[in-house]
Structure 1
Amino acid sequence: MWDTEHNNGVLIYLLVPEHAIEIVADRGLARCVAPGEWQALVSQLAVHLREGRYEEGLAQAVDAVSARQAAHFPRRGAGTAYANELPDAPAVR
């Protein structure tokens, strides 16, 4: 996630056994978004996970991250298509 063209990759990290959530933004996006905004997203996701609403919570978290990326790294011009530099599939380890 560290080697995207604009340094704006984001990792939503769930460590299920420890009930830990972390949102890690690369330096380009981290400069644009206050740490409190990331913490608010973590808190919202935690509520959903505690209530067993996993899919809803993760979908909202991904949408919220995407909105921040779009706000700070908008597409340039009509029809501009950026290649997805990172896979979107969950990595289960």
Structure 2
Amino acid sequence: MNFKRTIKHLFYPGWWLRRDFPPSEMARIEGAIKQSESKHSGEIRFAIESSLPFKALWHDESMNERAIEVFSLLRVWDTEDNNGVLIYLLLADHKVEITADRNINKVVGEQEWQRICGLMQTEFRAGNFGNGVVLGIDEIGALLEKHFPISAADTNELSNKPVVL
């Protein structure tokens, strides 16, 4: 267990999440996901967590491990074309992680996900949290549109609503 990280997470004010992501921003993010998904057959989820639960801290869970856990918890993997993408934001660590299902990972490399995370983090550092998330959704949507175009039979398989953990 990393003592410094544990203290930071245990005392991270939960109200900062509500300050940086008020209901209007959450609605804007939901709308951006809906608009993006109208152009491709992929599914995008956004999950935000102010700090890790104690169990995750005790086991020194990495950002990537937590993102994979949330990916599974939200069933982002459970899409017909295996092309779901999770944007996971952990406020206490000031980090964002993109986790994608196997079919999108066959055509999009890790460098591309890191590039998008970098664009988002630039916005976050400027205090533009909603803009950063919408930028990430737009960038991911462009990749999904290129590799998984919309079909007439496409349905919305996962909720577009942002998830607060």
2:138 counterpart (42, 47, 63):
63
In structure 1, C-alpha distance between the alignment counterparts of 2:126 and 2:145, rounded to whole Å: 29
Larger Rg: 2
- How many residue pairs get aligned? The number is 90
- Show structure 1 runs of 4+ deviating over 3 A: none
Sequence identity percentage: 41
Cα offsets for 1:35-91 (capped at 9, x unmatched): 111000000100100100111111110011111111101124xxx251111111111
In structure 2, C-alpha distance between the alignment counterparts of 1:4 and 1:81, rounded to whole Å: 14
Q: Are 2:93 and 1:2 aligned?
A: no
Structure 1 alignment gaps of length 5 or more? none
Matched to 1:44, the amino acid is: L
SS in 1 for 2:164: coil
Q: Are 2:103 and 1:28 aligned?
A: yes
TM-score scaled by length of structure 1 = 0.91
Matched to 2:122, the amino acid is: V
Structure 2 alignment gaps of length 5 or more? 1-75
Q: Are 2:94 and 1:19 aligned?
A: yes
Matched to 1:92, the amino acid is: V
TM-score scaled by length of structure 2 = 0.53
Structure 1 81/57 Cα, relative in aligned 2: closer, same or farther at 3 Å?
A: farther
